[in-house]
Amino acid sequence: MEFGIFIFLIFAGIVAGIVSVVSSMASLVSYPALLMVGVSPVYANMTNTAALIFTGGGAALSSLKEIKATWRKYLWILGLAMAGALCGSLLLTAFPGKVFEKLVPFFVLLSALLFLLSNDKNAYKREQLTGVKKLAAYFGIFLSGLYTGYFGAAAGVLLLFVLTKVTDDDFIVQNAFKNVIGSLGNLIALLVFVFTSKVYWNRAIPLAIGLFIGGYLGQKLIHYLPIKAVKWITFVFAIFLALYLGYQAYM
């Protein structure tokens, strides 16, 4: 692999890792980076999934204190999310490449809309869940896992939204677990892809190196970054990316 591509993917991974921790939108940086170096859409998504595992590793390393103190309460959430990730990855391998390519622009738009919702402060208000709302929260966790396994961009936004409804930890702790659960969901999807499809490891490895570094830095920087500005920049980028991918798929 060309040295320039290797460095480019590391840099893209660092940016994506920071974006992942701050806004759960890593795939909106890492996925196009893989397309730019010649990986086709379906395989780019699978390769991206392989690399994204390391974002959570970097984030977890920089937030061990928070995770050690509260990990037991998140086990049931992890189980639901992993079940969803397994279903999502199996769906991806069942659909032909052209179908996925035409669906991706809509996934990116959905990601952007979820991301816009995440800017609403009231969206993250803790409340006591009962009955239908509790079932909806459980389904939301499963759905975020399914979306992680199938495409993944902004799946963390959905998961973080649900975590704030079902746990009473502060945002930093919830965000740390969001990153860890998302990475484990990507690991489940990767295991499916390894046995059923193809991962471009020569592209995944440099991207993974960058994502690990970016995940570590992002969890540190989240205390200091102007989160609102980063979110809106990412939101605008997501809209342009969706339009670009839509043009490629349908024109």
- At 97, is the pLDDT very low, low, confident or very high (cuts 50, 70, 90)? low
Place of tokens 């806004």: 23
Is 121 a residue whose pLDDT tops 50?
Answer: no
Confidence at residue 80, expressed as pLDDT on a 0 to 100 scale = 93
Domain borders along the chain are 3-250
- Does the pLDDT of residue 123 top 60, yes or no? no
Structure confidence at residue 115 as a pLDDT band (50, 70, 90): low
Name residues whose C-beta falls within 8 Å of residue 155's C-beta, 6 or more positions apart in sequence. Answer: 24, 144, 145, 147, 148, 182, 185
Q: Please give the full DSSP string across 93-153, using - where no structure is assigned.
A: HHS-HHHHHHHHHHHHHHHHHHHHHTT-GGGG------HHHHHHHHHHHHHHHHHHHHT-T
Nearest to 185 by CA among 49, 15, 24: 49
**Tell me, what's the pLDDT at 134?**
75
Taking CA 16 as the corner, what is the angle to CA 181 and CA 46, rounded to the nearest 5 degrees?
Answer: 65
**pLDDT exceeds cutoff 80 at 120:** no
| 35 burial via Cβ count (<10 Å: 0-12, 13-18, 19+) | middle
What pLDDT shows up at residue 84? 94
Determine the pLDDT at residue 96.
64
Distance (Å, whole) CA 160 – CA 165: 9
Q: Report the pLDDT value the prediction gives residue 158, as an integer from 0 to 100.
A: 76
- Read off the pLDDT of residues 136-165 as tens digits, 9 standing for 90 and up: 888 889 988 998 888 776 677 778 778 877
Query: Over the stretch 9-28, which tens digit does the pLDDT of each residue have?
Result: 999 999 988 887 777 778 87
Rounded to 5 degrees, what are φ and ψ at 48?
-60, -40
Q: What digits encode the pLDDT tens for the residues 170-224?
A: 777 887 888 888 888 888 988 888 877 778 889 999 999 999 898 888 877 777 7
* 40 or 69, which is more confident: 40
The pLDDT mean for the chain works out to: 80
Q: Residue 107 and residue 191: Cα distance in Å, rounded?
A: 23
Residue 124 has pLDDT above 60, yes or no: no
Look at 56-70, 71-85, 176-190 and tell me which has the smallest mean pLDDT. 56-70
Residue 195 to residues 46, 94, 159: CA-CA distances in angstroms? 12, 13, 27
